[in-house]
Amino acid sequence: MVQDSLAGVKVLDLSQYIPGPFATLLLADLGAEVVKVEPPQGDPMAAFEPCDGDGISPYYKAVNAGKTVVRLDLKTVEGKAAFERLVVRADVLLESFRPGVMERLGFGPDHLRALNPGLVHCALSGFGQTGPWRLRAGHDITYMALAGVLGLNGPAAQPPHMPFPPVADHVSALGAVTAVLGALLRKARTGQGATLDVSIFESALHLNYQALLLASRGGGPDREADLLNGGAACYRAYRCADGGFLAVGALEPKFWHAFCNAVGRPEWVARQAEPLPQTSLIEDVAAALETRPLGHWTHLLENVDCCVEPVLTPAEALAQPHVQDRCLAAGGPGGLDLRFPAWSDSRPPAPRKSYREENFETVIALWQ
């Protein structure tokens, strides 16, 4: 199974909040043994509201599922010595400090290589280890703003909409996992470790390749003006009579043709090629769809091959038969286990175990 791909790989996780822990969650899903090293006071994310009766945030439980948590004070001699013992045994170290922090703690790249030449060290930071922004603080909204992503979302006449879930945080985690897996493949061939520098901002920039490509040619999409960000009538969300929303993704002519005929507006078919932004056509579609409740349109279009779906709430999404049939969601850490989104050899993803806290000596014994 894909969940056994990294069996035997030992991962040290020095990260907090979302990007790093989500990256190591995926490594754990692939079978790696992840030990999360937290400071004596723990990961601040554990206190994110809403907290459960035990005072621990379900978000923390979910993103750290399957890991072993140990607390060390890396500012003390004892803590440094203990951490060195873990580094010697590890295959991967992922940390999310600002540049310079690892060096101040005594674990710069040279010392890490001396301890373990085969170590894959991934530094996941806001802006990378070099450059004029390297020490700048940030969060998902600011990374997205600087990468030119935030300004492309939402109605043109209003402030940009904040994408949710945090896109830059999670795409940087995926980038970190990809880099780590590549480094592990090289290590298997050569025995050589790696020092990886992954940036949350640059991950968002990389994700925005379509808009940046146009900008490099002197153009670039404005909000609600491009094919994929609200400028096309065939690709946007519309309000229905009851306040629900319908997502229309009928990009291909065959889908648009089927949609127009199903809703009784065959005259719209030829208008798909109107110049962007298609303000007039959008207004016509919006006026028509607002005459009936969402349920009417979903029932009408249920068996029409046109890429049109209702905009669901999270609770409605979880209740969909397809989600249940694919074994993607069940009770688990934090109250819900959203499992690794890949089947392997015709088998669904395995359930995750809850994280567990252990003392240092127990962890070292497990990693002998």
Query: Cα separation of 155 and 292, whole Å?
Result: 23
Residue 140 is among the residues annotated as catalytic for this protein? no
Q: Which of 29, 169, 226, 337 is catalytic?
A: 169
Instruction: State which amino acid sits at residue 311.
Output: V
**Residue 39 dihedral angles phi and psi, to the nearest 5°:** -70, 170
Query: Cα separation of 227 and 229, whole Å?
Result: 6
CA distances from 337 to 49, 326, 332 (A): 18, 13, 4
Residue 111 is among the residues annotated as catalytic for this protein? no
CA distances from 1 to 17, 25, 92, 295, 333 (A): 29, 17, 21, 40, 22
CB 230 within 8 A of CB 223: yes
CB 7 within 8 A of CB 353: no
Q: Which of 139, 170, 257, 296 is catalytic?
A: 139
Pick from 64, 92, 83: which is nearest to 8 by CA?
A: 92
Pick from 28, 106, 112: which is nearest to 72 by CA?
A: 106
Residues with catalytic function = 139, 169
